[in-house]
A and B are shown apart, each in its own frame.
Chain A
Amino acid sequence: MTTITTPTITVRILCFAQLKDRLADAEFLLTVPAGSKGQDVLRLLRERCPRAGPLLDVSRLAVNHAFVAEDIELHERDEVAIIPPVSGG
Chain B
Amino acid sequence: MTHLSREPIDVARWHEQLVVDPRNGAAVEFVGIVRGTEAKQPIDYLDYEAYEPMAERVIAQLIEMARQRWPVHELYVRHRVGRVEVGQVAVLIGVHAPHRDEAFAACRYLIDAIKKDAPIWKSAVHGHPAH
Contact = CB atoms under 8 A, between A and B. Distances in A.
Contacts of A86: 115-121
B67 interface: no
B111 interface: yes
Interface size bucket, B side? 20 to 34
B120 A87 contact: yes
Interface string A4-29: 00000000001011100000000000
A82 to B, nearest CB: 10
Nearest to B112: A89
A17 B123 contact: yes
Interface string B5-21: 00000000000000000
Interface residues of A, number: 15
Contact of A16 (B51, B79, B91): B51
A16 to B, nearest CB: 6
A54 interface: no
Interface string B102-116: 000000000100111
Given A16-B121, A17-B121, A81-B119, A88 B54 contact: no
A32 interface: no
A83 interface: yes
A46 B50 CA distance: 23
A83 B116 CA distance: 12
B32 interface: yes
Interface in A48-89: 62, 65-67, 81, 83-84, 86-89
Nearest to B120: A88
A62 B111 CA distance: 21
Contacts of A18: 121
Nearest to B32: A89
A88 B114 contact: yes
Closest 6 CB pairs of A and B: A88-B120, A17-B121, A89-B115, A65-B54, A87-B122, A88-B118
Interface of A: 14, 16-18, 62, 65-67, 81, 83-84, 86-89
7 contacts: A65-B53, A86-B119, A87-B120, A88-B122, A89-B79, A89-B115, A89-B118
